[in-house]
Amino acid sequence: MDFWKGQENLPDYLIERVEKLNSNEGLLNDLFLINPFNEQPLSLRPNFAFFDFKSDTTPSQADVYFIIASIVHFARFPESQLNSIKQYQDMKFLRFHEHVQSVFSPECFNRFNDGIIQAAILRIANPNELNYSVQDDLSYEMATVLKNLFKNDKDPDRCEAILEFLLAIATGKLRLKKKHKDQFLNHVKDNFDNKKISIFCEFALRSQ
């Protein structure tokens, strides 16, 4: 919420979003920013391995958030959940100390290409886990993944979570080297003709 403080002439959509967040209503299907192309909430496609689509229940955004949060929690704290030291040594986890900083692989966002899953990862991740600015080649790799994900507005299904990525960049949660950040954001400006995307892109360009 602090990000919007001091911003003048906020668009109606952002004002409505802030009011929604300040209300006492639940956010069962309003956790994430909407798909800017069809103005609808992000929803899960019926091919997600961690949900039984044979049931009559439609997974809410809160369901998806909980599932992804559980997976990420395991990646952060695996010790008590593995059966052997060898199993532990053979797997990769999110680790942080003075000599090691782990980030989500940029390829995660290619492999999990449902917008709602991408949005959940962005929301659940700690800033350090999305800090691709620590290495030039890592920043370049992430910027390349983003440009490939969000080529243009001709494939809206592939770009449904673009507002979440722009918000993460604007707030400094997802960090790239400045040259890579500017390249990606200018790419978005040049290839997307959408008012909401333009608004978030401008905020991201003005961020430090």
Q: Which residues pair with 78 in a beta bridge?
A: none
| Model confidence pLDDT, tens digit, residues 102-147 | 888 999 999 888 999 999 999 999 999 999 999 999 999 999 999 9
- Within the chain, strands assigned E span 96-97, 100-101
Q: Which domain holds residue 142?
A: 33-206
Residue 5 lies in a domain: no
- Looking up tokens 């439609």, which residue turns up? 58
6 contact partners, CB below 8 Å, separation of at least 6: none
* Distance separating alpha carbons of residues 44 and 32, to the nearest angstrom: 12
User: How many domains is the chain partitioned into structurally?
Assistant: 1
More confident residue, 193 or 51: 193
Residue 14 lies in a domain: no
Residue 151 lies in a domain: yes
Residue 26 lies in a domain: no
120 with 71: CB under 8 angstroms? no
Residue 180 lies in a domain: yes
Q: Is the dihedral of CA 109, 110, 111, 114 positive or negative?
A: positive
Residue 3 lies in a domain: no
Residue 138 lies in a domain: yes
Pick the range with the lowest mean pLDDT from 2-16, 123-137, 182-196.
Answer: 2-16
Residue 15 lies in a domain: no
More confident residue, 42 or 48: 42
Based on the number of CB atoms within 10 Å of its own CB, is 204 exposed (0-12), middle (13-18) or buried (19 or more)?
A: buried
- Looking up tokens 């243009």, which residue turns up? 152
